[in-house]
Amino acid sequence: AARHDGRGNHAFYTREALQQARRRLKIQHALRGAVDRDEFSVVYQPLVHVDSGIAPGIEALLRWHRPAGGHCGPAEFIPIAEDCGEIVRLGDWVIAEACRQAAAWDEAGLRFGRMSVNVSAVQLRDRGFAERVIARCRQAGWPAHRLELELTESALVRDTELLRDCFDTLQSHGVSLAVDDFGTGFSNLHYLNRFPVSRLKIDRSLILDIQRSAESGDLTRAIIQLGQAMRMQVVVEGVETAIEEQLLREHGCDEIQGYLYTRPLPPREMAQWLRSGVPLRAPGLTADPQPA
């Protein structure tokens, strides 16, 4: 009953908020020094070229193995690491690790194009970021032109000299940029035109209705064409069904990423996937029959 009067409600939500704040604080505390304690690993998910079925890229995704406490995914701990600044060290570790792994796979004769690493706005704003990225590539023996950084639009909102210098340095070494989660933020084309972005990753939320709604299909097609008109490659992420894949192929999408091909995999399984699985789907294959 107390929950139904205004003050009760207030107390209820306050308790929730308090619990949330406590969890955040706990995570923040646990994050400190976690890199040095070896609590992180990287899993990998391929991007698949729509026409050839080959994997032109692999995305590195961070995983945290908390010794105490339950599951905590990057969608939860990355924003916290950004707030407390820990993301700078953590992000640096991911780049080094992903480049090391990429070089090892390449050395082992596995064929793929680029390695993509997610980078947050806080990292970009950290002085010397671009130089550190280049140094990591060199140390790992991974060519910088085969590294791609995935940024969200929020990283591009503020056009500062620092950001320009950062992108200039990266570009001069051939590091490419992708805009992640397109369609969830401002989706402001102005940002994209201002910076040397070569790839647009359309968020899963934009294609959720694509099988049922012609309007959603039209919108997706329009965004794909728009990205391509701006000389960007267009990827759709979070593709789960063969029907979605077929529609996206018809809409002219360049690359697809999603559970349809595979979930993100630990290194050994990713290597196996590269060895055996490519090309998984020959061009022009009709969609698998889907259960109703």
User: How many residues are given for the chain?
Assistant: 292
For residue 164, the tally of other CB atoms under 10 A from its CB is: 12
106 binds, among ligand C2E, Mg ion, none (CB under 5 to 8 A by kind): none
Q: List, as one string, the DSSP characters of 83-115.
A: HHSTHHHHHHHHHHHHHHHHHHHHHTT----EE
The residue behind tokens 């503020």 is 158
Distance CA 100, CA 58 (A): 13
- Rounded to 10 degrees, what is the CA torsion of 217, 223, 225, 227? -150
* Of 176, 179, 258, 273, the one binding ligand C2E by CB under 6 A: 258
The residue behind tokens 């671009």 is 130
Residues ≥6 apart with Cβ < 8 Å to 231: 198
Q: For ligand C2E, which residue has the nearest CB?
A: 258
Distance CA 60, CA 93 (A): 12
Binding map of ligand C2E across residues 272-291, x = CB under 6 A, - = no contact: --------------------
* Of 150, 245, 254, 255, the one binding Mg ion by CB under 5 A: 150
Q: Is 115 in the site for ligand C2E (CB under 6 A)?
A: no
Residue type, 69: G
46 binds, among ligand C2E, Mg ion, none (CB under 5 to 8 A by kind): none
Q: Is 101 in the site for ligand C2E (CB under 6 A)?
A: no
Q: Is 119 in the site for ligand C2E (CB under 6 A)?
A: yes
Structure tokens at 5: 């009067």
Nearer Cβ to ligand C2E (217/264): 264
Minimum separation from the CB atom of position 118 to ligand C2E (A): 4
Minimum separation from the CB atom of position 23 to ligand C2E (A): 17
Distance CA 136, CA 93 (A): 9
Q: Is 217 in the site for ligand C2E (CB under 6 A)?
A: no
| 157-186 positions binding ligand C2E, by CB under 6 A | 180-181
Nearer Cβ to ligand C2E (105/120): 120
* Of 50, 217, 264, 274, the one binding ligand C2E by CB under 6 A: 264
Nearer Cβ to ligand C2E (27/94): 94
Residues ≥6 apart with Cβ < 8 Å to 39: 64, 65, 66, 67
Using CB under 6 A as the criterion, which residues of the chain lie in contact with ligand C2E when the complex forms? Answer: 45, 61-62, 73-75, 78, 91, 94, 118-120, 150, 180-181, 204, 237-240, 258-259, 264
